[in-house]
Structure 1
Amino acid sequence: MKKRGKVMGASHSYHCVVTCRTGSSAAAPAASSSNDYFPIILDILEEIFLNVPAHQVVCLCRLVCRQWKEVADSKSFWIRRCRRERYEIRDASNKPKDWRLFYFLCKKRRNLLKNPRGEEELSGWEILLNGGDKWAVERVLAPHPNGAQKNFVTSYHMCKKSQLIDLEKEGYNASFMDHYQPDIKISDWYASRRGCGCLYTMSVQLLNKQKRVVQKFDPDTVCLEGCDDGQWKQMTHVFKNYGPGVRFIEFVHGGQDTLYWAGWYGIRITDSSVEICPAKDA
């Protein structure tokens, strides 16, 4: 990195003063003078900022003075921060335009689906089909690999539910999505009830501003026989290089049992997720 010889403090009205007291009776300095200034080379200030929580650098440090703002806004600082926390870009030929945004979106990577495990009953989901005895939420029958304690369960006619994710509202602006096109990772866990066959279906669509399909993942319906072991199985997909224009993600899943038994013997679903993945997975 090219060293910056510029110092902070002596040329600005805001300065850093270091005072030390040897005891309570030590006299306070009469007045500030040119010797009270503590000039800081900007490269050193950058190193200090690397050890300050990122949100404090943005919300506090960059407001102190012009030189601090210069460091807090610098491309080199956020590149170093990404490297230090091992947020690696997926393609060296497609670098982010805004490294600070890239850093925070990596830092705040999360599941964009609301209530994915049924902890809040059916809150957050739009019910598309509610056949048989309708959707229900139960405690898991078999231990889940990720520790989920509850699952959604379907009935003897088709049940489907969905969520529509607005990427702008979740913090992924149009410029970032169009230029960088981060991977979009989909995951869904499903299981049968032993002794009863069932069907599982899911689809995920990337939509543009007009909610027209840009790309979709629409696997064949899964049919589990009554002799299935009832253990959890995972459906996954990663959208890559999907092109510009993606503004929404529509997630739909559901199913039913195949014996038309009253009650809730259909497919069980839990721990669904949709993640935007700006950085390369370790």
Structure 2
Amino acid sequence: MSAAELKKKCETEWGLQGAPMPDSVDWKSVCEAKPLGRNLLKNPAPLGLNKDVPLPEPELPEVPGGGPPRFQPDGDFTSWTTSTEVLPYDSSGIPAGAVICALPQYSWFTLEQVVDLKAEGLWDELLDDFQPEILIQDWYEESQLHKSIYQLHVKLLGTDKSTVISEHAVNPKEELSTYSHNWKEVSHVFSGYGPGVRYVHFLHRLKNSFLNDFFPTLFTGSSVIIRPVKSSS
């Protein structure tokens, strides 16, 4: 198939009529990469979970677990950069003179990943002039461990990976008065973000708790998807 035929194939399949599609682009590589409409994050479910499967109810151990405290869930975190922040004990709200046997110790587990948009098959003119929508999506467990159990911060970065062209942050507060234990969706669409975007920095944090045993906040389905839709300015 010729370069012109490959370009036409991409244009038709992705509905890119009106988008800049210069002949200088390697259309064979673009067609093989399929950068539009697929999840550009690697290993989006490192805990092996599926949002379409209901979460199991957490089980309290009959016998306290032995060994040192844990602050990170088990999983295959290939392609993610991870870190853990153990938080100080929170004794607020405990009446004066109360006898404290044990307090939960909380920690933030952070995962981040940088998507190189050009390496994934996108081209300068599409990103700068057409500016397709960039959909961010994530799912986390309503673990009810704390009123704040999830944070998301996504940045659209320039060529130098340090210039922030656009960003979106989420820090929801959980409703603890009514029991709920479901998957909770977080999503955002970047549009009209301006020229220069070359990278997407995806970072989320999940809060875990340790009190005789480890209780994590689970997540799955993290995604960065470039949609073949022109952004509105």
TM-score bin (small chain): 0.5 to 0.7
Alignment partner of 1:129 is 2:96: no
Q: Which runs of 5+ in 1 are unaligned?
A: 1-56, 63-71, 133-154
Which of structures 1 and 2 has the bigger CA Rg?
1
Counterpart contact for 1:106–1:277, Cα < 8 Å = no
Which amino acid letter does the alignment assign opposite residue 19 of structure 2? Answer: K
1:177 to 1:224, Cα distance in 2 relative to 1, 3 A: same
Task: Say which of 155, 170, 179 aligns to 1:205.
Answer: 155
Task: Give the number of the structure with larger relative contact order, counting CA–CA contacts within 8 Å between residues 6 or more apart.
Answer: 2
What whole-Å deviation, never above 9, does each CA across 1:168-213 have from its counterpart, x for those lacking one?
A: 211123232112211100000011236x335111110000112211
CA distance in 1, matches of 2:199, 2:35: 21
| Gap change, CA 1:169 and 1:106, over 3 Å in 2 | closer
Asked if the contact 2:151–2:171 (Cα under 8 Å) also holds between the matched residues in 1, the reply is yes
What TM-score do you get using the length of structure 2 for normalisation? 0.64
Matched, 1:88 2:88: no
SS where residue 126 of structure 2 aligns?
helix
The answer as to whether partners of 2:36 and 2:225 remain within 8 angstroms in 1 is no
Provide the aligned length of Structure 1 versus Structure 2.
180
State the secondary structure of the residue aligned to 1:223. Answer: coil
Higher helix share: 1
Cα 1:270–1:204 change in 2 (3 A) is same
1:97 is matched with which residue? 21
Q: Find the aligned partners of 1:208 and 1:262 in 2 and give their Cα distance.
A: 45
1:271 aligned partner: 221
- 8 Å Cα contact 1:192-1:230 kept in structure 2: yes
1:236 counterpart (187, 190, 199): 187
Letter in structure 1 aligned against 2:4: D
Identity %: 28
Measure the CA separation in 1 of the matches of 2:201 and 2:164.
Answer: 10
**Does the 8 A contact of 1:166 with 1:249 survive in 2?**
yes
Contact 1:200 1:223 survives alignment (8 Å): no
Structure 1's 108 and 236: CA in aligned 2 closer, same or farther, altered over 3 A?
closer
Does structure 1 residue 78 correspond to structure 2 residue 8?
yes
Return the offset for 1:106: 6.0
CA contact (8 A) 1:127 1:160 kept: yes
The structure where strand makes up a greater share of residues is 2
Q: Take 1:188 and 1:179, find their aligned partners in 2: how far apart are those partners?
A: 28
Q: CA distance change for structure 1 residues 158 and 237 in 2, over 3 Å: closer, same or farther? A: same
Which secondary structure does the structure 2 equivalent of 1:176 belong to?
A: helix
The Cα RMSD (Å) is: 3.2
Unaligned 5+ runs, structure 2 = 49-74, 88-104
Question: Partner amino acid for 1:88?
Answer: G
Once the two structures are superposed, residues 100-153 of structure 1 have per-residue CA deviations (whole angstroms, 9 ceiling, x without a partner) of 95x837675311111111146111110133537xxxxxxxxxxxxxxxxxxxxx
Q: Does 1:223 align with 2:223?
A: no
- Give the TM-score taking structure 1 as reference length: 0.54
Looking at structure 2, the residues matched to 226 and 130 of structure 1 have their Cα atoms a distance apart, in angstroms, of 27
Given that 1:209 and 1:248 are in contact with CA atoms closer than 8 Å, whether structure 2 keeps it comes out as yes
Matches within 5 A, 1:14-163: 57=1, 62=2, 73=4, 78=8, 82-83=11-12, 85=13, 87-89=14-16, 95-98=19-22, 101=27, 104=31, 109-118=37-46, 119=48, 121-131=76-86, 156-163=106-113
Which residue of 2 is the match for residue 176 of structure 1?
126
